[in-house]
Amino acid sequence: MTRSRGFTGDLLNDFRRLPGVRSAALSEFPIGIGSWHSTTLVIPGATAAQEKDLDTCYFPVDPSFLPTMQIPIVLGRGLEQRDLSSPRVAVVTEQFAKKFFPDESPLGRRIGLGGSKNPADIEIVGVAKTTVYNSVKETETPPVVYVPYTQNGPGLSRVHFELRTAGDPLALANAVRQTVHKANASLPVSEISTQAAWVERTFSQERTFAYLCACFAGLALAIACVGLYGTMAYAVARRTNEIGIRMALGAERRRIVWMVLREVLALGGAGMAVGLAVAWETSRFVRAFLFGIQPNDPWAIAGSAFVLLAVAYLAGYAPAWKASRIDPMAALRHE
């Protein structure tokens, strides 16, 4: 185990020496891809309410992991190189501190990982900002403990290296492979990818679903526009005599346009009211497919209403303009 940890540490240092690499770190799992460790905490002096829910996620990492992933420390300090061999320490997230130490600072408190059989010999030395851990699709981020990977009792089942580069990360793919093969020719490099690509993959099904919904919504909008135009064109044709009489009596063209548009906007407003009511009630069924927005987000609803009214206005303007150009004498002779 010590030899394996020494090898990963040496390989990490080789990555840091690559041209274009700003910082490098390692972890057992990348964040936000749906893989994680969970365990039961040991907190001396925990209340009865806390003891019922002492589950947490923990993350074996290199001390450079938090700076490399740009996760800031909000209290205390981060993990340091000396922590790889010093007494056991950990950095917890704000969510962890809020849940288990709501009324006090967690700095200096001791915890244990793995249940009551294990001692509470891990000192909390810092609090990191809460960030995505299990998946970008999670609705609530769990409490997380970051521990030095050398202090992870069971060892690392796998190793992921995170490199922050000055340019395109994938441009270093060949250099990374060569570095690994130079260290150990039999060691496979399973995958080289960017964090953004990892995140993109988690949304593949949702994105496809969104594209299909957008296409069907666009088709429905086009059908509604054609239907609205046809309805209003038919209504104007039926009222040709009335329009001719109004214009013969001195009605202005803009009043004729407004008369027709008013009916269009009334139809659009009624349809929008019904549609919004149905959408409001059914939005909870698509909650799982929404990210960064609430099902009944006021801005999204306002934007949709504006688009519908604008489309109704444009669909009705052509019949309204045509009605305002009717020759009164021809309209009076119209049957």
Domain boundaries, given as residue ranges, for the chain: 2-202, 204-332
CA dist., res. 161 & res. 7, Å (int): 13
Label residue 1 by pLDDT band (50, 70, 90): very low
Q: Where are the beta strands (DSSP E) in the chain?
A: 21-27, 37-42, 55-61, 73-76, 89-93, 110-113, 122-128, 144-148, 160-165
Please tell me the predicted confidence (pLDDT) of residue 75. Answer: 92
| Mode of pairing for the β-strands spanning 144-148 and 89-93 | antiparallel
Confidence of residue 282 (pLDDT cuts 50, 70, 90): confident
Q: What is the CA radius of gyration of the chain?
A: 32
- pLDDT band, residue 91 (cuts 50/70/90): very high
149 vs 319, residue with greater confidence: 149
Provide the pLDDT confidence category of residue 3 given band limits of 50, 70 and 90: very low
Supply the pLDDT for residue 42.
84
Long-range CB contacts for residues 196-199, cutoff 8 Å, separation at least 24: 198/30, 198/32, 198/33, 199/32, 199/136
Three-class SS of residue 25? Answer: strand
Strand, helix or coil for residue 33: strand
Whether the pLDDT of residue 220 is over 80: the answer is yes
- Per the model's pLDDT, the better-predicted residue between 246 and 105 turns out to be 105
If pLDDT is split at 50, 70 and 90, which confidence band does 51 have?
low
Q: Mark 275-288 as b/e (b = at least 16 C-beta within 10 Å).
A: eeeeeeeebeeeee
pLDDT of res. 93: 92
Residue 74: predicted pLDDT? 93
* Exposed / middle / buried, residue 25 (Cβ in 10 Å: 0-12, 13-18, 19+): buried
The answer on pLDDT for 129 being more than 80 is: yes
Q: What is the average per-residue pLDDT within 223-233? A: 78
pLDDT given for residue 200 in this prediction: 73
228's CB contacts (< 8 A; 6+ apart) are 264, 267, 268, 312, 315, 316
pLDDT at 68 over 60: yes
pLDDT given for residue 263 in this prediction: 80
Query: Is pLDDT at 15 greater than 80 in this prediction?
Result: yes
Binned at pLDDT 50, 70 and 90, residue 222 comes out as confident
Q: Is the pLDDT of residue 302 over 50?
A: yes
What pLDDT was estimated at residue 2? 43
Q: How far apart are CA 199 and CA 288, in angstroms?
A: 16
Residue 177 has a pLDDT of 85
Q: DSSP letters of 222-256?
A: HHHHHHHHHHHHHHHHHTHHHHHHHHHTT--HHHH
Distance between CA atoms of residues 60 and 148, nearest Å: 6
Higher-scoring residue by pLDDT: 333, 10: 10
Instruction: For residue 226, count CB atoms less than 10 angstroms from its CB and return exposed for 0-12, middle for 13-18, buried for 19 or more.
Output: exposed
pTM > 0.75: no
Share of the chain above pLDDT 90, in %: 8
Average pLDDT over residues 233-248: 74
- What is the residue-averaged pLDDT of the chain? 80
Structure-model confidence comparison of residues 35 and 191, the more confident one: 191
More confident residue, 166 or 335: 166
Give the model's pLDDT for residue 153.
62
